[in-house]
Chain A
Amino acid sequence: MKTQTLFSRNSPLGAPLKIVRQTFSAHQGKPARRLSFVSGLHGDEMEGLYLCHRLIQALRQIKDTRPEEFLGEVHVYPAVNPPALNNGSRLWPLYGTDMNRMMGPHPDKSLPVQLAQEVFDDIQEHSDMAVDIHASNLHLKELPQIRIIEEFSEELLPLARQTHTGIIWIHPMAGVFESTLGYNLNKLGIPTLVIETGICLRIEPKTVDRLFQGIMHLLVKQGVLASLPEEIPPLPDSRVVYPREVSQACAKHSGLFISQASLGHRVGEDEIIGQVVDPVEGVVLEQVTAPDTGLLFTLREQPTVHAGALLARVACDLEPRP
């Protein structure tokens, strides 16, 4: 494994601001394919960091014992936003900037933009394919899923299937994606999968283990590794969810959402999944029901809600309604 610093700036306080890339090169000659894994763009999303740890640990062991297994090249960018990671916040605290809203061609020369651009350029230079790993935000808990913008689905869906991630959600384009790492790499022809899982500021080791196993499958299917390590089991296929197969429940009232459902369980249409209550008056404002029959794959975790807030998403069982 080779550790390289791709970004470094001296700080007024002393320790420089640094970003590293860990590289596992091909055993012989030109790499068959180069895959990159990125995590920590949002500093409160920890699952990706642990996933990178699992990956680096496993790849290092293979490199030490069976280096000939490496037909391709792997780059891991485990912590690309150190100021936010050290602060446990989504945004870079000193500037209040979201690093995943600064990707793509940007005329500005502020420090956050410099960092975003140099990370982006480095990934672009070193990758034939990339995986950008996110946890959810403070509010919603997510089943492990790969999110694909509709316009890239033809190319990305077969690749996403190779990861055996529980859910692959193909969703419509929105303006908010235009400045993200995933969208801009895909636009440049570097197929990039975006993983969303769990909730921020927490790590669920079992979920990460399962994602890690999926990544190992991907590395073999992509011809980066010659064979699957013995300890990696076969995995079930992903459920692909198309845009019209997602139904969501939103709060009609402002209050506290008290969940009565479990993420990853099946729910029936109109089944009660929670309540919104008014803690000041001691009244129940609404019973929240499942918007459809299917798999509950997003669930509100932060209870404070304003009317309109998303409470749950269900991947519907039935054919989409006309």
Chain B
Amino acid sequence: MKQEILNIPTPFGEPLVLYKNQWGPLDGEALSIVSGLQGDRLNGVMVTSRLSRFLNDIEAGRETGYQIRGNIQIFPIVNYKAWETGNPVWNFDSQDADLTFPGMEVGELAETLCNTVIRHTAESDYGIVVQSAEKHYEDAPHVKLIDPSRTRRNLARSLGLAVGREVAENPALVLNLAKQWDLMGLHPFILSAGKPQTYQPQYCDLLVDGIVNFMRSQGLLSHTREKGSQQEMSFFDAEHECPVLTREAGLFYSDIPVGTAVDKGQKLGEVRDLYEGGLLEEVTAPEEGFVVTLREYPMVHEQECVAVLLRENNRKWFWPFG
């Protein structure tokens, strides 16, 4: 059910209200799902909206066979002001919400919004952030894991995505929601698919199905006949990721879709001169690997990252042989 979790007056108009949806018994296993950290990551918001409809349907008896067994919360929007502008951040504070956690109970607006989410999710067992690639890039659907223990990799397998990836340590990571969840004792999962500012239905289908499967596998949902299943997942650790950089500056035309497995030396695209269109460079894969991220925005500098490959030869863990 939709509940207000923050109601704060604004200087010139209607109050800003942050909502969550909540279902199930408060004492069961608890899952929190968050989207809308940046104001242009549409896939995440579409996924959480569809999940909310599905859970409401179960509660209303319209999804036969299903029962809600655990405590499920969904937080569709966090950076409310950024969503009003359609930009990843609100220009007023230039503050990326996913670099603002844990926030503060009393503070600037971004701090308060983020802290509200932290307080409402603190008691959960699992946390899922649904998002898409950074500005100018597209991600193949995958799950990112912080500190990927065997337990977490096992849990991630029930998210139904073929690719798992370790989140590399960096000094700003501590400001991310997922890292704060990790520090608070939740198992955090970041699901990323597609690109900002675009709704990509096939990706959203995949993420919705994956999250529903996760709920079934962890006993948050039950079904009279079907159980959650664990899927085949390739897991890649952070140190073996391979960024592909351009040699020349110009316009990048990619030859392959994101999510392609490529061979060493395979052409990924080319860079052409912006003014005259001439070929400056063929960009090829330096290694065999899975293209998890691909440049969307064609204008590229010299040494610009146009793709990230997850290297097959360092695949660490492969169900069912792991």
Contacts and interface: CB of A to CB of B under 8 A. Distances in A.
B169 interface: yes
A106 B249 contact: no
Contact of B304 (A91, A105, A111, A179): A111
A254 B8 contact: yes
Given A12-B250, A306-B8, A101 B107 contact: no
B171 A178 contact: yes
A256 interface: yes
B170 A106 contact: yes
A205 interface: no
A101 B172 contact: yes
Given A107-B168, A308-B108, A310-B107, A9 B11 contact: no
Nearest to B88: A96
Contacts of B96: 96, 98
A179 B170 contact: yes
Given A96-B88, A254-B11, A12 B171 contact: no
Interface residues of B, number: 50
A12 B89 CA distance: 26
Contact of B170 (A96, A108, A183, A307): A108
Contacts of A179: 170-172, 175
A9 B299 CA distance: 13
A211 to B, nearest CB: 25
A149 to B, nearest CB: 14
Interface string B160-187: 0000000011111011000000000000
A253 interface: yes
A16 B303 CA distance: 12
Nearest to B249: A10
Given A95-B135, A306-B11, A12 B170 contact: no
Interface stretch (B118-126, B144-152, B240-248, B261-269): B240-248
A103 B102 CA distance: 20
A308 B9 CA distance: 11
Nearest to A100: B172
B271 to A, nearest CB: 9
A90 B104 CA distance: 22
Contacts of B108: 139, 306, 308-310
B301 A11 contact: yes
A280 interface: yes
Given A12-B250, A109-B243, A306-B109, A17 B305 contact: no
Contacts of A175: 102, 174-175
- Determine chain A's interface SS by DSSP, over half rule: loop
B170 A255 contact: no
Contact of A280 (B13, B251, B301): B13
Interface string B20-48: 00000000000000000000000000000
A98 B171 contact: no
A255 B13 CA distance: 10
Interface string B266-288: 00000000100000000000000
Nearest to A250: B106
B11 A109 contact: no
B226 interface: no
A139 B91 CA distance: 12
Contacts of B248: 10
A107 B170 contact: yes
Nearest to A110: B305
Contacts of A287: none
B175 to A, nearest CB: 6
Nearest to B243: A109
Given A106-B170, A107-B168, A256 B11 contact: yes
B321 interface: no
A207 interface: no
Contacts of A304: 11, 92
Nearest to A44: B94
Interface string B110-133: 011000000000000000000000
B171 A106 contact: yes
A232 B248 CA distance: 49
A109 B301 contact: no
Q: Which of B104, B238, B300: most chain A Cβ within 10 A?
A: B300
Interface in A94-137: 94-96, 98, 101-111, 114, 137
Contacts of A90: 94
A10 B239 CA distance: 28
Given A114-B303, A175-B174, 10 more contacts: A12-B250, A13-B299, A98-B94, A98-B96, A101-B175, A108-B243, A254-B10, A278-B11, A304-B11, A307-B9
Nearest 8 Cβ contacts at the A-B interface: A104-B171, A107-B168, A179-B172, A179-B171, A109-B243, A10-B249, A10-B302, A254-B9
Interface of A: 9-13, 16-17, 89-91, 94-96, 98, 101-111, 114, 137-139, 175-176, 178-179, 183-184, 250, 253-256, 278-280, 304-310
Interface of B: 8-13, 16, 87-89, 92-94, 96, 99, 102, 104, 106-109, 111-112, 134-136, 168-172, 174-175, 238-239, 241, 243, 245, 248-251, 274, 299-305
